[in-house]
Amino acid sequence: MFSEKNAKLGVTFPKGFTAAGVKAGIKKSGNPDLAVIYTKTEAAVAGTFTQNQVAAAPVYASKKVAATGTAHAVVSNSGCANACTGAVGDADAAKTQAVAAAALGCEPLDVIVGSTGVIGVPLPMEKVEAGVKQAVSELSPDGSEAAANAIITTDTHTKSCSTSITIDGKEVRFGAIAKGSGMIRPNMATMLCYITTDLAIDQKLLQEALSTVVETTFNMISIDGDMSTNDMVIVLANGEAGNAKITEKNADYDKVVETLHAISEGMAERIAADGEGATKFLKIHVHGTKTFADAKAVGMAVANSPLVKTAFFGEDPNWGRVICAVGYAGVPMDPEKTVVSFGGIPVYAHGVGAGADKDALAKVMAEHDIVIDVDLADGDAEATVFSCDFSYEYVKINGEYHT
């Protein structure tokens, strides 16, 4: 459903949105590091945030914006997380909002702020302030790609998408940019995702739709089992498509949920595939459980196992590591009923190895995208977790990250 033609337009594909990304000097590398997304027309805002109890200053600031129900802008920087920075960090997040609001002609509580980077380091506010003003001066309907470049850290590439649907006879557009590569586990991660749409919808319904979608998409990622301090997914809906405002759960609302799910799932998969140092994208499909929570618990146990991750990096079909993780996931299971498959090839069945053809299995393990299927044969529920392998490069990236 995604338009490759308009993918680069990302957050500026919907009507009324502009964006920019600039080099503010926050990063030592000199790469772009500050983005602004803006809609002059007031937008309904919805957000989900990290569940880490040590949340960064921008998370608290943006929760206050989301609580108002409306917003006009997003300011997002990379290179500094503004986390564990105390009262100074809170003041810097507020100052960022104030500077952006003054430049844009809105109120500070109209500005979402997001940050990503090293924890425990204060924002270089002179650079941030100058960067915000520059970005505002460069806002453009073609600025999404520059904004996407400005929010990434260890990502190897930007992540953006766009699509459109018909609501009430009107074309309704959606666009998104995201970053995320490491410190990623369930319930959000060092991940930022900004979604824009020109849809007209009640704010509470927008929030409900986003919260529902996030549970089965972004909350199903695990790169390394670490939960960040800074994650957020934000949706801005400015209503410029001109559709009759969605105020109840009906067929149009269902279509919006479906679209948000497709966007979020696609971005979640791309984030997992771009995990730090990743050479494999692992999709862990667990089914045959009594509840979704049980299936998710099993999938996450497999995804978070360093032994599973390193086995797939080495292209070693060591199914013993997978069934071991399934067994300690804390979900009741019967080894005699359980079947584990790699790329559609059963490798463990009914308590023992399945005697898979070695050559066929070697071909599966050599692929970049691999599906690990786990059938517990104990119910009708299922869940899919998105993950990747652990490589030498992952250790190198994270061993040198702070320096």
**What does 83-143 look like in DSSP terms, one character per residue?**
-S-HHHHHHHHHHHHHHHHHHHTS-GGGEEEEEES-TT----HHHHHHHHHHHHHT-BTT-
Query: In the 8-state DSSP scheme, what is residue 57?
Result: H
Tokens representing 105?
């002609």
| Boundaries of every domain in the chain | 7-273, 281-399
Alpha-carbon span 327 to 85, nearest angstrom: 41
Per-residue pLDDT, 52: 78
What CATH architecture is 7-273? Answer: 4-Layer Sandwich (3.60)
Tell me: the pLDDT tens digits for 147-176? 999 999 877 788 999 999 999 999 999 999
pLDDT at 2 over 60: no
Per-residue pLDDT, 33: 96
pLDDT at 388 over 50: yes
Per-residue pLDDT, 301: 95
Residue with the two structure tokens 């100074």: 88
Question: 337 — phi, psi (to 5°)?
Answer: -95, -20
pTM score, whole prediction: 0.88
Per-residue pLDDT, 55: 85
Alpha-carbon span 97 to 63, nearest angstrom: 13
Tell me: the pLDDT tens digits for 207-231? 999 999 999 998 888 765 555 678 8
Tell me: the pLDDT tens digits for 264-315? 999 988 888 776 667 899 999 999 999 999 999 999 999 999 899 999 999 9
Closest to 267 (Cα-Cα) out of 304, 312, 219: 219
Cite the active site residues. Answer: 190
What CATH architecture is 281-399? Answer: Roll (3.10)
Tell me: the pLDDT tens digits for 48-72? 998 878 889 999 999 999 999 999 9
pLDDT at 107 over 60: yes
Question: 89 — phi, psi (to 5°)?
Answer: -65, -40
